């Protein structure tokens, strides 16, 4: 710890306190978490869930564990430093977040959860205090209660702050999974819109009462297993009809309300996974789709005109290479024959005639493709007379060959001249690709003044046992 200079304490929790510090060697600002209990062996430190889980995960939206230090039986975790947590950001805010901001936060969190669940862990303690923010970046922190999906039950009953605790945990289920993180995200997402907790229960029973008063009482159709859990602990659900969330979260769009409703489902199996939540229409602005893909006019070829022209030129040059090789081949014998020379000249003229015909067809198809797509390549890539000059050069060679004397040497000379045409026109450059732009949302807080939550009227967090 001599390498770090402690500045001030920034947080205090059940298992440890967090300090802001500076690395004396690199001048990097870090966050040091000092554990309150003592650890008498290094193996005991390495077996901690927080250490085991963070050592296996590396994601831009999961806080990075830089170092683990044990001195005098005291354990220190050195993390990357983040400016504040999401609860502090909401508490000090006068008005609610825009939907674009909520979408940005939630999109990053769901990405981290999808990665975490895929790696075999679920967090079990998601709440605004454990979501750290620096500018527009948010990261999941505090993996002290993280658990492996493949670990054997029973699990502990108390796993998270009560306001974000899933119903199956409130009913003391010993078997649960990553769906508890999805329930917490539904409550957090609603809180981002209103700056008030969605289910602020003062006890486990009151928490269930708050949940029933909003999403309605469960039944055999919505959550049969929950009724069995309630019977096992002799608990009776209060009777309520569901309330549409748009009345409680008036500033949220229909897509946002739909996603919150899915996340806050009684039955864990009916909640979407983190990967499925990312595919919800609420996050569609986060995925950029090029206009050429989604708005392609009818009849437009899938291949850009520049690519088609390039293919035509390459095909033409390939024929020139093959023709030059054939015409440059020496005869098997040195004897000259008038009939042989005449047939060779006829063959060369026939190849040139076919070349001219094919070239004119390529020009027509190229012009038609350019006319349909209305694409105008830059002038430097298509100088004036580029195609016409090439056609005239081939035509001139054809006329010269027509007046040549019947001689194998002359035909060979003409073939050598044709070989010089191998350096054909360079293919046109394709236009540069469009860079994907960011998404923007113009959604504002649309609630009436009497519906807007009072600023800074926040519930005290100490009741969240």
**pLDDT tens digits for the chain (465 residues)?**
889 999 999 988 778 899 999 999 999 999 999 999 999 999 999 989 889 899 899 999 999 999 999 999 999 999 999 999 999 999 988 888 999 999 999 999 999 999 999 999 999 999 999 999 999 999 999 998 887 765 555 544 444 589 999 999 999 998 899 999 999 999 999 999 999 999 999 999 999 999 999 999 999 999 999 999 999 999 999 999 999 999 999 999 999 999 999 999 999 999 999 999 999 999 999 986 666 555 554 454 444 444 444 444 444 444 444 444 444 444 444 434 444 444 444 554 555 556 555 555 555 555 555 444 444 444 444 444 444 444 445 555 555 555 554 444 444 555 555 555 544 555 555 545 544 444 444 434 334 444 444 444 455 565 444
Give pTM, 2 decimals.
0.63
Q: Please enumerate, by residue number, every residue annotated as part of a binding site for ATP.
A: 34
Q: What is the model's pLDDT at position 335? A: 39
CA 300 to chain centre: 29
Q: What is the model's pLDDT at position 15? A: 81
Q: What is the model's pLDDT at position 447? A: 41
Catalytic residue among 125, 142, 181, 341: 125
**SS (HEC) of the chain:** CCCEEEEEEEEECCCEEEEEEEECCCCCEEEEEEECCCCCCHHHHHCCHHHHHHHHCCCCCECCEEEEEEECCEEEEEEECCCEEHHHHHHCCCCCCCHHHHHHHHHHHHHHHHHHHHCCEECCCCCHHHEEEECCEEEECCCCCCEECCCCCCCCCCCCCHHHCCHHHHCCCCCCCCHHHHHHHHHHHHHHHHCCCCCCCCCHHHHHHHHHHHHCCCCHHHHHHHHHHHHHCCCCCCCCCCCCHHHHCCCCCHHHHHHHHHHCCCCHHHCCCHHHHHCCHHHHHHCCCCHHHHCCCCCCCCCCHHHHHHHHHHHHHHHHHHHHHHHCCCCCCCCCCHHHHHHHHHHHHHHHHHHHHHHHHHHHHHHHHHHHHCCCCCHHHCCCCHHHHHHHHHHHHHHHHHCCCCCHHHHHHHHHHHHHHHCCCCCCCCCCCCCCCCCCCCCCCCCCCCCCCCCCCCCCHHHCC
Q: What is the model's pLDDT at position 455? A: 46
The span from the CA of 146 to the CA of 122, in Å, is 6
Do the beta carbons of residue 111 and residue 102 sit within 8 Å?
A: no
Phi, psi of 380 (to 5 degrees): -70, -20
Q: What is the model's pLDDT at position 116? A: 96
Question: Active-site residue 125, yes or no?
Answer: yes
Q: What is the model's pLDDT at position 26? A: 95
Q: Please enumerate, by residue number, every residue annotated as part of a binding site.
A: 34
Q: What is the model's pLDDT at position 169? A: 93
């Amino acid at each position: 710890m001599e390498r770090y200079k402690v500045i001030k304490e920034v947080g205090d929790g059940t298992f440890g306190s967090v300090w802001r510090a500076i690395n004396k060697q690199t001048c990097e600002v870090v966050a040091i978490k000092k554990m309150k209990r003592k650890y008498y062996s290094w193996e005991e430190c390495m077996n901690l869930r927080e250490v085991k889980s963070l050592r296996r995960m590396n994601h831009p939206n999961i806080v990075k564990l830089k170092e683990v230090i044990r001195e005098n039986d005291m354990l220190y975790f050195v993390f990357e430093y983040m400016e504040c947590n999401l609860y502090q950001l909401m508490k000090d805010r006068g008005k609610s977040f825009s939907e674009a901001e909520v979408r940005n936060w939630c999109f990053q969190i769901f990405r981290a959860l999808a990665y975490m669940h895929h790696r075999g862990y679920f967090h079990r303690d998601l709440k605004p205090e454990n979501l750290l923010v620096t500018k527009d970046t948010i990261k999941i922190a505090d993996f002290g209660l993280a658990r492996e999906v493949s670990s054997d039950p029973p699990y502990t009953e108390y796993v998270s702050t009560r306001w974000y605790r899933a119903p199956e945990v409130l009913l003391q289920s010993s078997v649960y999974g990553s769906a508890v993180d999805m329930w917490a995200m539904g409550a957090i997402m609603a809180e981002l819109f209103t700056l008030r907790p969605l289910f602020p229960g003062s006890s486990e029973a009151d928490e269930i009462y708050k949940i029933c008063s909003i999403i309605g009482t469960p039944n055999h159709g919505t959550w049969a297993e929950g009724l069995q859990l309630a019977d096992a602990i002799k608990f009776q659900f209060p009777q309520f009809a569901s309330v549409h969330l748009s009345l409680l979260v008036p500033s949220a769009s229909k897509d946002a309300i739909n996603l919150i409703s899915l996340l806050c489902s009684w039955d864990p199996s009916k909640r979407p996974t983190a990967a499925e939540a990312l595919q919800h229409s609420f996050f569609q602005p986060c995925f950029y789709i090029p206009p050429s893909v989604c708005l392609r006019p009818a009849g437009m070829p899938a291949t850009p005109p520049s690519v088609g022209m390039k293919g035509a030129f390459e095909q033409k040059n390939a024929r020139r290479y093959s023709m030059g090789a054939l015409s440059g081949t020496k005869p098997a014998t040195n004897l000259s024959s008038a009939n042989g020379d005449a047939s060779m000249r006829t063959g060369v003229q026939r190849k040139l005639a076919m070349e001219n015909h094919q070239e004119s067809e390529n020009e027509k198809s190229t012009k038609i493709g350019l006319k349909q797509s209305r694409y105008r390549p830059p002038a430097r890539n298509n100088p004036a007379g580029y195609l016409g000059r090439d056609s005239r050069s081939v035509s001139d060679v054809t006329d010269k060959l027509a007046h040549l004397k019947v001689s194998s040497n002359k035909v060979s000379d003409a073939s050598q001249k044709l070989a010089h045409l191998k350096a054909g026109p360079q293919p046109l450059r394709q236009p540069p690709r469009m860079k994907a732009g960011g998404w923007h949302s113009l959604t504002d807080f649309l609630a009436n003044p009497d519906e807007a939550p009072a600023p800074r009227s926040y519930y005290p967090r100490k009741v969240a046992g």
